[in-house]
Structure 1
Amino acid sequence: MNNRRDAVSVQRPKGSLLNDKDFRAVLFQILILAGVVAVGWYLVNNTLSNLEQRKIASGYSFLGRESGFGIGESLIASSAADTYARAIVVGILNTLLVAIIGIVLSTILGTIIGIARLSSNWLVAKLASIYVETLRNIPLLLQLFFWYTIIGEALPPVRQAIEIIPGAVFLSQKGLRVPHIVEHAIHGWMWIAFFAGVAATFVWRRMAAKHQEATGQMRPVFLPTLGFLFGLPLLVWLVAGAPLQWDLPKLGGFNFNGGGAVSPELMSLTFGLVLYTAAFIAENVRAGILAVPKGQWEAAGALGVTRGTILRLIVLPQALRVIIPPITSQYLNLTKNSSLAVAIGFPDLVSILNTTMNQTGQAVEGVSLIMAAYLTVSLSISAFMNWYNKRIALIER
């Protein structure tokens, strides 16, 4: 009986390969891969042919040429005599600056708004709901134009600048002027000490976790972290003689001289991105808190724990496993939305590369650099958030 069944299974009808599920799966993958390669080859070949017909040189050799344009706002020294490569680096740093500031501030504001939406106070909850529903449904570009117009129209001119701190901090149509620390050679060593403190903090936290698992006793973490991160740079600064010199902004003519400046474009971009993204983060936080069973609140309340302590130590740590995945998407959206800075004149990566492409005609190379930069930053943020999500995940025993 078994031999007859084996014989029947061996003798397959003609064309049975197409009826084989495994064979069809492999065949379809080969066909899809071949189609992707064919489309890619066509696009590349067509692009190279068009560039050759228009006598446009391809390649990235233009990065070593002098850019010929200045950048109004940069974290590092820049001038029109710099190369295109340095100008692009300035644009990347400006984009990272906006992304980092936006992520930090939108997280803080979004968490506050999300908790406020669940408040037992009717007015607080309604105001938070109005904030979320309003800002989420207005296009971000319009919000950026709004803030840029407000700063340009509502704030006073330079000669009538608002002195937030007399003689030190001024606010006007030209933006925010603040004191600036004069650069010193010891600052580089302070940064080295800071990163050494980051590594020491990581090692100490791992040692504290292993000690707690082995003995059940907790070692202090917060104060040693402060000591590593800020104590080491402060110690280096004190050993060097505590050099500190402030460059204060002073009114001269139609603008301020000296000090540090936060341009109206950066202020508008930051306000728009933070307020817009915080509205989405607030909903993520609210959903995460609601996902925690009410029994957690009731059990902790029965022990006499205050609602603030319950939220901070019991509910939010459990809600993070629900909050982190969608909030990662909001961080990525904020970083990519920063490209709208070109609409209000802030020199981010897109703005600088647009100028570069207009001058050199290297549109393909410029777009590829933009794509590579945003892809790298987005993947880095995603990788970090995924790592953090695994760190805080609840481990069942």
Structure 2
Amino acid sequence: MTTSTPKRPPARSSSRTWRLSLSDPRVAGLFWQILVVGIAVAIVAFLWSNAIHNLSVRRISTGFAFLGREAGMPIADSWIDYTPKDTYLRAFIVGIVNTLRVAVIGIVLATVIGTLVGIARLSSNWLLARLAAVYVEVLRDLPLLLQLLFWYVLMQGLPAARQAWKPVEGVYLSNRGLILPSVPLHEANWWTILALVAGLIVFTLVRRRLIAQQMLDGRARPAWPYALGLVVALPALVSLLSGANWSIMLPELRGFNFVGGLTLAPEYFALLIALVTYTSAFIAEIVRSGIQAVPRGQSDAAKALGLKRSFVLQHIVLPQALRVIIPPMTSQYLNLTKNSSLAVAVGYQDIVSVANTTLNQTGQAIESIALIMMVFLTISLGISLFMNWYNARIALVER
């Protein structure tokens, strides 16, 4: 008697084969993506070749070789050494630094003022809450350019240097700008500042470690000895060994102008005030809505435990509100950076003003505009990357 062995069915292929048919959603999606990218590349290539042809017909040179030529362009307000005999590249670097001066300082001040105004809008004090509401509604509803021109005209209407206002000792306000006391920074001073920054970073890491240990065993560990050693003793030791000089230089009136101190030109000061006040009004609303997004039961439970209102706001409400505040806050930071290009309206020489002057002198229109776009794109992407990293860091992690 014989038995037949059943045949095994053919093994199925582990990987599915693609059919080159537009009825397949994956093939169709890939096809349309390639088509759209191809059309975009073709449009850019056509525009570029057309621009190169028109420039060659008009005998206008192209390229960035002009950056090595002498600029012959005066720049009054500069934090780095510059003379008109320097190159256009050096002038562009000065313009970038001037743009960063406005953007970085403006972001910090707008964040502080906007946060305070947003918290004030929720205050139980009727007068404080109404004043904060008026601040937000007035500044948010007026065009930024109008506010910028208002502050600039106001600065020009201030008294001359000899009759300058002196609100406190060493601080002067006149049509020459805001003059403040300053500390000359040399190499030894920078080493001390670097030691302070390093000490703050290390102290932050140590404090996080102490908090983590407290969460494990419930025993509080003091952080002040580490703060004293890393933030106070370490910079003081570096300052002493390097011989840093921290003497304050007070401005002094000589003739028709001030000598010494730190001078904020009226163009820069007006631009900074306009950007900070305008952006802080939007940030205030973001902070207010973020705080109100936190369930009221959180603060009620904390108050029932006898915690102070300031402690509840700082350690319970704001950390949770940050998850709502950060995304729209990023947009306001980007808006402030891009709005700094309005500096050309008051004569402040930022990257846009320097590029416009370069364009008029050299005729390199495409290159100058491309440099402006590249600078603002780089700054904006840097802000976006940092804020996205911070937003991901504070986001809730599901388990």
For normalisation by structure 1, the TM-score amounts to: 0.88
CA distance in 2, matches of 1:31, 1:244: 64
Q: 2:245 aligns with which of 243, 255, 269?
A: 243
Question: Counterpart in 2 of 1:266?
Answer: 268
Q: How does 1:15-30 map to 2 (within 5 A)?
A: 17-30=21-34
Question: Counterpart in 1 of 2:105?
Answer: 101
CA distance in 2, matches of 1:191, 1:348: 27
Whether contact under 8 Å (2:189, 2:245) holds in the other structure is: no
Whether contact under 8 Å (2:252, 2:260) holds in the other structure is: yes
CA distance in 2, matches of 1:316, 1:368: 41
CA distance in 1, matches of 2:292, 2:362: 54
Deviation at 1:260, TM superposition (A): 1.9
Deviation at 1:218, TM superposition (A): 5.6
* One-letter amino acid matched to 1:294: R
In structure 2, the CA distance between the partners of 1:382 and 1:363, relative to structure 1 (3 Å rule), is same
CA distance in 2, matches of 1:339, 1:378: 13
Q: How does 1:305-384 map to 2 (within 5 A)?
A: 305-384=307-386
CA distance in 2, matches of 1:244, 1:103: 27
In structure 2, the CA distance between the partners of 1:299 and 1:335, relative to structure 1 (3 Å rule), is same
CA distance in 2, matches of 1:85, 1:268: 27
Tell me, yes or no, if structure 1 residue 163 matches structure 2 residue 166: yes
The runs of 5 or more residues in structure 2 that have no matched partner are 1-19
Q: How does 1:130-169 map to 2 (within 5 A)?
A: 130-153=134-157, 155-166=158-169, 168-169=170-171
In structure 2, the CA distance between the partners of 1:202 and 1:360, relative to structure 1 (3 Å rule), is farther
In structure 2, the CA distance between the partners of 1:190 and 1:50, relative to structure 1 (3 Å rule), is farther
Whether contact under 8 Å (2:188, 2:244) holds in the other structure is: no
Question: Counterpart in 2 of 1:10?
Answer: none
Deviations along 1:175-219, whole A, 9 cap, x unmatched?
A: 112233334342343344345435534653564466456655565
Question: Counterpart in 1 of 2:180?
Answer: 178
CA distance in 2, matches of 1:213, 1:308: 23
CA distance in 1, matches of 2:94, 2:192: 23
Question: Counterpart in 2 of 1:55?
Answer: 59
CA distance in 2, matches of 1:227, 1:337: 42
Deviations along 1:323-371, whole A, 9 cap, x unmatched?
A: 0111011111111111111111111111111111111111111111111
Deviations along 1:71-120, whole A, 9 cap, x unmatched?
A: 11111111112211111111111111111111111111111111122222
CA distance in 1, matches of 2:151, 2:367: 33
Q: 1:91 aligns with which of 95, 110, 122?
A: 95
In structure 2, the CA distance between the partners of 1:54 and 1:211, relative to structure 1 (3 Å rule), is farther
* One-letter amino acid matched to 1:36: A
In structure 2, the CA distance between the partners of 1:224 and 1:100, relative to structure 1 (3 Å rule), is farther
Tell me, yes or no, if structure 1 residue 69 matches structure 2 residue 54: no
* One-letter amino acid matched to 2:159: P
CA distance in 1, matches of 2:110, 2:351: 21
Deviation at 1:394, TM superposition (A): 2.5
CA distance in 1, matches of 2:97, 2:362: 22
CA distance in 1, matches of 2:225, 2:349: 39
CA distance in 1, matches of 2:392, 2:356: 39
* One-letter amino acid matched to 1:77: D
In structure 2, the CA distance between the partners of 1:54 and 1:73, relative to structure 1 (3 Å rule), is same
Q: 1:117 aligns with which of 108, 118, 121?
A: 121
* One-letter amino acid matched to 2:241: V
CA distance in 2, matches of 1:62, 1:191: 38
Deviation at 1:387, TM superposition (A): 1.4
Q: 1:254 aligns with which of 250, 253, 256?
A: 256
CA distance in 1, matches of 2:231, 2:65: 41
* One-letter amino acid matched to 2:347: G
Q: Percent identity?
A: 53
The runs of 5 or more residues in structure 1 that have no matched partner are 1-15
CA distance in 2, matches of 1:320, 1:217: 28
Deviations along 1:119-171, whole A, 9 cap, x unmatched?
A: 22332222222221221111111110011111211x221110112334x2211
For normalisation by structure 2, the TM-score amounts to: 0.88
Deviations along 1:37-81, whole A, 9 cap, x unmatched?
A: 110111110111111112121111211222112211111111112
In terms of mean alpha carbon deviation, does 367-376 or 385-394 score higher? 385-394
Whether contact under 8 Å (2:171, 2:178) holds in the other structure is: yes
In structure 2, the CA distance between the partners of 1:214 and 1:66, relative to structure 1 (3 Å rule), is farther
* One-letter amino acid matched to 2:383: I
CA RMSD in angstroms comes to 2.5
Deviations along 1:226-250, whole A, 9 cap, x unmatched?
A: 7545654432222233424444322
Tell me, yes or no, if structure 1 residue 41 matches structure 2 residue 45: yes
Whether contact under 8 Å (2:188, 2:243) holds in the other structure is: no
